[in-house]
Amino acid sequence: MKEYLIVDGYNIIGAWPELQELKEENLEYARVRLIELLSVHAALSKRKVILVFDAYQVKHNNGSRETIQGIEVIYTKENVTADMAIERLTAQIPKHQKVFVATSDRLQQETIWGKGAFRISAKELKRELELTEKEHKPHYTPQLYVSNRLEDRIDPEVRKKLEKLSRNN
């Protein structure tokens, strides 16, 4: 059975202190960081993750839907809140699928319960992401940083000779 995780983006950004701090600096930074965190979770948990940001107050906005780093990111159109979009998504997913909605919005939680979805608070989502990463950490190794600078990729002996030539000229 496929599992879905639908996330109320701005609700989570507002609830997690580190994302709230990024938001105060630049909202885009907070959105990008949330996408990064959720994409790791999606890959490790094998859940289909849908992240919803509302843009209901943006005039003449038609909304957008794209896949970024393996998760579906939706920006609602003008006059459509994230709550409305989440309710619609929850209703569209077949009943035999397990759907989790991450939000700390109390009214939204009650609405999604009525649609048969499970709710996850912002705090529970954070804990779940941390646990998923911790459980899978022994099974993967992070990619080491590889410099693109030529001087960092040259054999040390060749580098010394080039530096010596450079000093002599």
Sign of the C-alpha dihedral computed for residues 15, 21, 24 and 25 taken in this order: negative
How high is the mean pLDDT of the chain?
A: 84
Domain encompassing residue 53: 3-143
Q: Is residue 44 part of a domain?
A: yes
CA distance 52 to 67: 12
Spatial strand order in the sheet of 98-102 = 64-68, 71-75, 48-53, 3-8, 98-102, 118-120
Mean pLDDT of 44-62: 85
What is the model's pLDDT at position 105? Answer: 74
- The answer to whether residue 154 sits within a structural domain is no
**Beta carbons of 98 and 1 less than 8 angstroms apart:** yes
Residue 163 in domain: no
On whether residue 165 sits in a domain, the answer given is no
How much is the pLDDT for 149? Answer: 63
What is the tally of structural domains in the chain? 1
Mean pLDDT of 129-158: 68
Whether residue 162 lies inside any domain: the answer is no
Angle between helices 106-114 and 82-92 (to 10 degrees): 20
Mean pLDDT, rounded, for 87-108: 85
Closest CA to 33 of 48, 13, 63: 13
Residue 118 lies in a domain: yes
Q: Say if 17 falls within a structural domain.
A: yes
Encoded tokens for 122: 């912002």
What CATH number does residue 135 fall under?
Answer: 3.40.50
* The predicted structure's pLDDT at residue 163: 79
Q: Does residue 45 lie within any of the structural domains? A: yes
